[in-house]
Amino acid sequence: MRQLSLSLAPWRFRDATAGGHWHAATVPGCVHTDLRRANLIPDPFHGTNELALQWIEERVWEYHTVFTVPAELRAEKNLELVADGLDTVATVMLNGRVLGRTDNMFVAHRWALGRYLRPGENELLIRFDSALHAIRTTRRAHQPKEFNDPVGRSQVLRKQPCQFGWDWGPRFVTAGIWRDLRVEAWTGNRLDGVRVTQSHEPDGSVTLDLAPELARRDPQAQCHWRLALGRILVAKGVGPVIRVDHPQLWWPNGQGAQTLYTLQIEVTDAADRRLGRWVRRIGLRTIALDRSADPAGGEFFRFVVNGRPVFAKGANWIPAHSFVAGLRRDDYARDLRSAAAAHMNMLRVWGGGIYESDDFYDLCDELGLMVWQDFMFACAIYPGDATFQRSVRTEAAQQIRRLRHRACLALWCGNNEIEGLNPDLLKQPRLRKNYDALFHRVLPRAVAAHDGVTAYWPSSPHRPAGGVAHAAGERSGDTHFWEVWHARHPVKEYENWRFRFVSEFGMQSYCSPETQATFCPPHEDNVFGPAMENHQKNRGGNQIILDYVSRRYRFPRSQADLIYLSQLNQAYCMQTGVEHYRRLMPHCMGALYWQLNDCWPVASWSSLEFTGRWKALHYLARRFFAPVLACAHVPGDETAGIGNYRRSSVREVHLYTVCDAPAPATGRLRWDLFRLADGCILLRGRKRVTLRPGESLRQRTLDLGPALARHGRDHVVLRLALDLDDRTVSEDSVLLTQPRFLVLPPASTRTAIRLSGPRTAEFTFTSPVFQHRFAFELPGLLHRASDNYFDLFPREPRTVTVELTRTATVAQLRRALTRRSLVDTY
């Protein structure tokens, strides 16, 4: 096959509603980014500019180019225009004649050029009609309950759902050529792809079955293959089967190596004519969703990789940008590498976004991040007429065939929360029929037909026996738990439930002052002002943040302190939930918090800011997702009674070790109860522990009643740590009252800075007193710290390595350095 890329052609665009002027365009791209590049609109993310740009979705936009097809392509018998993605309601015209029309941005199209093509220059025009106009005039009888679209009925169109607004993202309903566009020329037959099926044999070998997929069926097509590992040729041959005798398996992050073989296949016909070449990286592995019965009387929901049950540690992934067209590998790498650095092994590609680009899945393969892949349906009920089903069937087939060979692919999931949010509507026969048609017939049949290996799950959350009550999630299926946040329940509510797998739970925080400054001038940073409210998309979100912060912390002195406390609260909430779910292992086998990333600068549930900065949560995630973990469960609680008098039932503390590392180990668990005023040790203990893969074990229960009665819970902190080979691998402080009641002594910190490389520095912090969640920043210097938001213990130096993006002197680092711990917010 020969190709002519059209992305490099001289594209231009215009507002065709009233015959506007032409301006230079970029392909792949979208109208919002093209308008911004032409200085026709202000920064969509700044202040309240979003509100003033809603007119864009009402207009008709045209994209135009001129191209010439080389003679060698014209010599082929079949010439086709291939569009991998048009967003969304498009009419494609070549030399004034209609080639085709589209209404699904997730479907690739192929149109024969034939008699439409000219020998010299050819004029290509793509007209994008207003998506809003299409929504108003399409499937008018479909009137779903709305949850995120303030205008409504976006579900009638197969378009990225969160373009229409979500509770963390803006409404930018865009249009454009969002993926590759090219001319392909071929003669005789064309290779569309190769289906590779792995069989893992009892003797440890792996067999790969190869099935070429051609534009025209050819039973005599032959595969000529080469299998390589790096630069080493493992095997080569001809035929439909490859046997690998001593395979190196692919494992998720933290479980082993992410070995990827390069498989190159050339397909020929009976006359030995080459039909096409297919090259992919594949990981030799098995991933199964185990739903077998367990001793507790329910069923497991766990992923088994190469025969080993793996606790899924991770987060939910949303689109990396509000304008997804043209995202590159580097745009994904920043956040995906941060996920792997926090010991995550799974991401859920959430169903309100997009099927991500190959760059995203390449990185997940390389980093060992298993992918729970939603189909792109979220929250509201969708149509189910025959035309809609036919479009979804095509969409699913294309995406499954594109992704099925991926080592990272762990699950296909039908939708996000449609079952959970619409239980009453789904009792209506017509709506139930449409729902079942899509999610219990069209999609599972497509997975069976085009994948046949990866498990399918109809919705998230879903309980096989039916029902949406949380009690059902303790017996089977997966759960979204939002009583903490949406219902404003206490954080300890996490510990009241024994779920099997938790695929959503979260807590919001504000983004850092540095990220906030990218959209909000300092004089407009009041959280209830117009700019900040526009960058808070959850109704009442600012009030909920302040509610939870006020329960745990004292009133902050400044906006920066409020941001800091909101991030501490978010980290505490997720730590409480994740550590509880990990303690339940193997009853519970997954914790994916909401959410990993942002699509614009905003107050949200993310642990990574839009700028890539790590929030406090992400630093703590690296600790609570560590392969071996020491954690504490405090079964008591502190409440306020009549007269606002504090009452506490805190007395016992259960000390746990949790291990999901692939190999056993022995270590030492240690604990110290110390006095805040002077660091004096009041109680101390040590225990040798054995850590076994897949095991959570209560190692000791401490009765702190006498010590608390004598010294007061406001004056003491329990320190917990786990050492392996004389190295501390897990450490934290257990607070026995709310932090706002702690009597923290005034803090002073001595800082030593040493340059250890051209762009690497070591910061050593020492404090004479305990400091809770000590955090440091280097405003104006892009950097990544090996740790942050940690506890400083009295007179114990803490060294952190900082990687800089440019060189800096010790003096420059010292001038830039800012520090804060909890006591500094008082």
Q: Are 705 and 651 in contact (CB under 8 A)?
A: yes
Tokens, residue 12: 């231009």
Mean pLDDT value across residues 86-94? 98
Give the torsion through C-alpha atoms of 431, 432, 437, 440, to 10 deg: 150
Q: Given CA atoms 799, 804, 810, 812 in this order, what sign does their dihedral have?
A: negative
CA 657 – CA 665 distance, rounded (Å): 12
Q: Give me the pLDDT at residue 659, please.
A: 98
Number of H helices, E strands in the chain: 18, 48
- Indicate whether 1 pLDDT > 90: no
Percent of residues, the chain, with pLDDT higher than 90 = 97
Statement: the pTM of the whole predicted model exceeds 0.95: yes
Catalytically annotated residue among 57, 366, 504, 579? 504
Angle between helices 616-624 and 559-583 (to 10 degrees): 20
CA terminus-to-terminus distance, the chain: 68
Q: What is the pLDDT of residue 465?
A: 82
Q: Which of 382, 364, 380, 383 is nearest to 372 (CA)?
A: 364
Is 266 an annotated catalytic residue? no
Q: Are the CB atoms for 110 and 398 separated by under 8 Å?
A: no
In this predicted model, what pLDDT tens digit does every residue of 390-418 receive, in sequence order? Answer: 999 999 999 999 999 999 999 999 999 99
Quickly tell me which residue has 């007209």 as its tokens: 127
How many of the other CB atoms lie within 10 Å of CB of 437?
19
593 φ, ψ (degrees, to nearest 5): -80, 160
| Distance in angstroms (rounded) separating the CA atoms of residues 656 and 49 | 50
For residues 715 and 682, the answer to whether their CB atoms sit within 8 Å is: no
What does the block give as tokens for 311? 């606790």
State yes or no: cis peptide before 586, omega within 30 of 0.
Answer: yes
Could you give phi then psi for residue 423, rounded to 5 degrees?
-60, -35
124-139 pLDDT, tens digit each: 999 999 999 999 999 9
The yes-or-no verdict on residue 538 having pLDDT over 90 is yes
pLDDT at 17 over 90: yes
pLDDT single digits (tens) 692-703: 999 999 999 999
What would the mean pLDDT of 222-246 be, rounded to a whole number? 97
CB 375 within 8 A of CB 413: yes
Decide: 761 and 687 in contact? Cβ < 8 Å. Answer: no
Instruction: Give me the residue label for tokens 């439909």.
Output: 240
Tokens 């086709």 locate to 80
pLDDT tens-digit map of 301-350: 999 999 999 999 999 999 999 999 989 999 999 999 999 999 999 999 99
Q: Which residues contact 179 (CB under 8 A, 6 or more apart)?
A: 28, 83, 84, 85, 108, 325, 357
639-678: pLDDT as tens digits: 999 999 999 999 999 999 999 999 999 999 999 999 999 9
Give me the percent of the chain exceeding a pLDDT of 70.
100
750-783 pLDDT, tens digit each: 999 999 999 999 999 999 999 999 999 999 999 9
The pLDDT assigned to 466 comes to: 79
Look at residue 18 in the predicted model and tell me its pLDDT.
83
The tokens of 88 are what?
């969304």
Residue 131 vs residues 134, 150, 157, 336: alpha-carbon distances, Å: 5, 15, 8, 32
What sign does the CA torsion over 491, 496, 498, 504 have?
Answer: negative
Average pLDDT over residues 430-437: 96
Q: What pLDDT was estimated at residue 19?
A: 87
- Give all strands (DSSP E) within 708-757, no chain letters: 716-724, 727-734, 750-757
524 catalytically annotated: no
How far apart CA 325 and CA 323 sit, in angstroms, is 6
* Residue 187 reports pLDDT greater than 90: yes
For tokens 């193997």, name the residue.
586
H/E element, 706: helix 705-711
Tell me the pLDDT band of 600, cut-offs 50, 70 and 90: very high
**pLDDT at res. 194:** 98
Cα 637 from Cα 633, distance rounded (Å): 11
Distance between CA atoms of residues 491 and 553, nearest Å: 14
DSSP 405: T
777 close to 800: Cβ distance less than 8 angstroms: no
Q: Label residue 87 by pLDDT band (50, 70, 90).
A: very high
Q: Which residues contact 20 (CB under 8 A, 6 or more apart)?
A: 14
pLDDT one-digit tens code per residue, 263-309: 999 999 999 999 999 999 999 999 999 999 998 889 999 999 999 99
Report d(CA 403, CA 416) in Å as an integer. 19
Catalytic residue among 184, 366, 417, 495: 417
- Identify residue 88 by its one-letter amino acid code: T
pLDDT, tens digit (0-9, with 9 covering 90-100), for 451-498: 999 999 999 999 998 778 899 999 999 999 999 999 999 999 999 999
